[in-house]
């Protein structure tokens, strides 16, 4: 289908983008376009104005930020996947970015767009949740930082207001005490996850704790709290991986199959993460 008519402006700077966002009532940002353009073509969304932020200088980077790695919102998935700083300090992020879609998608889609879009089937939101990452959001009221745990509010709903822009994402540096795994079950190589699992384990005081999050098991990426407790107490995280989830049934899988997959994937991902540290 052809999108409904819209006006188009190229933002020259962050300030210009914020001004354009506030200039009309129904404005959408465009970065990589790999989630927004399909929705426009389906006429699921019909903004009056598209503000293209893809050419704003200074928002595409991967930087050392002390205990964290900072990633600019316009950094494309390919650049996240291949960034030496991430490969060294947080390979969970680079590895999972390398599993997004196909090379074309990874060369256009951005980390900021992926998070702001709020699709529970996307990979990086769950990864950020397992890492307790942070997201900077800029708008007419200034800059605020939102923890990943408070960022995802529902299907295609996030903490980003209509007049705000995601500018930076920060993830912690992992140490030798950390292990990690990202497992993505999908029917074809380029598909979204039927179910995905991100795990970060940490050796601490003679024990081990785990942060476990799930892709496509509810309206948002979810922390699998019961499975995390099972790891801490030496139990089977797979047996309780789907506790508290509400997975969808669709043409890829039934909710029941997704619950089964979550158990299998969580068990394997915890084993893989544990073996890696």
- Exposed / middle / buried, residue 234 (Cβ in 10 Å: 0-12, 13-18, 19+): exposed
Interacting residue with ligand FAD among 90, 94, 114, 220 (CB under 6 A)? 114
Give whole-number Cα distances, 1 to 41, 49, 65, in Å.
5, 19, 44
Cβ of residue 207: shortest distance to ligand FAD, in angstroms? 33
Binding status of residue 95 toward ligand FAD by CB under 6 A: no
Cβ proximity to ligand FAD: between 160 and 240 the closer is 160
- Rounded to a whole number of angstroms, the distance between the first and last alpha carbons of the chain is 50
Cβ proximity to ligand FAD: between 10 and 226 the closer is 10
Interacting residue with ligand FAD among 101, 172, 244, 248 (CB under 6 A)? 101
Binding status of residue 100 toward ligand FAD by CB under 6 A: yes
Stretch that binds ligand FAD, among 33-41, 198-206, 222-230, 264-272 (CB under 6 A): 33-41
Binding status of residue 75 toward ligand FAD by CB under 6 A: no
Distance of CA 224 to the CA centre of its chain: 16
- The first and second tokens of residue 176, run together, are 């030798």
Distance CA 48, CA 121 (A): 27
Give the torsion sign (CA, 227, 128, 101, 40).
positive
| DSSP structural state of residue 219 | S
Stretch that binds ligand FAD, among 8-16, 34-42, 168-176, 259-267 (CB under 6 A): 34-42
Binding status of residue 130 toward ligand FAD by CB under 6 A: no
Stretch that binds ligand FAD, among 79-87, 116-124, 204-212, 261-269 (CB under 6 A): 116-124
Binding status of residue 259 toward ligand FAD by CB under 6 A: no
Distance of CA 74 to the CA centre of its chain: 14
Distance CA 236, CA 88 (A): 30
Return residues touching ligand FAD (CB under 6 A). Answer: 28-36, 73, 100-101, 105, 109-110, 112-114, 116-117, 122-124, 160, 165-166, 190, 192
């Amino acid at each position: 289908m052809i999108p409904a008519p819209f006006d188009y402006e190229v933002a020259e700077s962050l300030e210009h983008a914020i001004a354009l966002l506030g200039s009309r009532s129904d404005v959408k940002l465009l970065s990589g376009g790999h989630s927004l353009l399909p929705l426009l073509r389906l006429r699921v969304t019909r903004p009056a104005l598209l503000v293209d932020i893809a050419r704003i200088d200074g928002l595409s980077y991967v930087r050392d930020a002390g205990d964290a790695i900072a990633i600019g919102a316009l950094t494309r998935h390919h650049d996240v996947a291949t960034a030496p700083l991430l490969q060294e300090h947080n390979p969970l992020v680079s590895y999972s970015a390398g599993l997004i879609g196909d090379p074309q998608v990874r060369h256009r889609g951005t980390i900021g767009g992926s998070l702001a879009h709020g699709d529970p089937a996307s990979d990086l939101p769950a990864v950020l949740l397992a890492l307790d990452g942070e997201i900077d959001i800029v708008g007419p009221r200034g800059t605020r930082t939102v923890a990943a745990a408070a960022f995802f509010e529902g299907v295609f709903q996030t903490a980003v207001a209509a007049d705000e822009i995601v500018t930076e994402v920060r993830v912690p540096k992992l140490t030798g005490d950390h292990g990690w795994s990202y497992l993505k079950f999908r029917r074809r190589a380029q598909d979204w996850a039927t179910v995905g699992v991100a795990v970060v384990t940490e050796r601490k005081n003679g024990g081990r704790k785990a942060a476990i999050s799930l892709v496509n098991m509810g309206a948002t990426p979810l922390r699998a709290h019961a499975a995390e407790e099972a790891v801490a107490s030496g139990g089977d995280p797979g047996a309780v991986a789907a506790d508290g989830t509400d997975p969808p049934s669709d043409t890829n899988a039934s909710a029941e199959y997704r619950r089964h997959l979550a158990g299998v994937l969580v068990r394997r991902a915890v084993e893989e993460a544990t073996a890696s540290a």
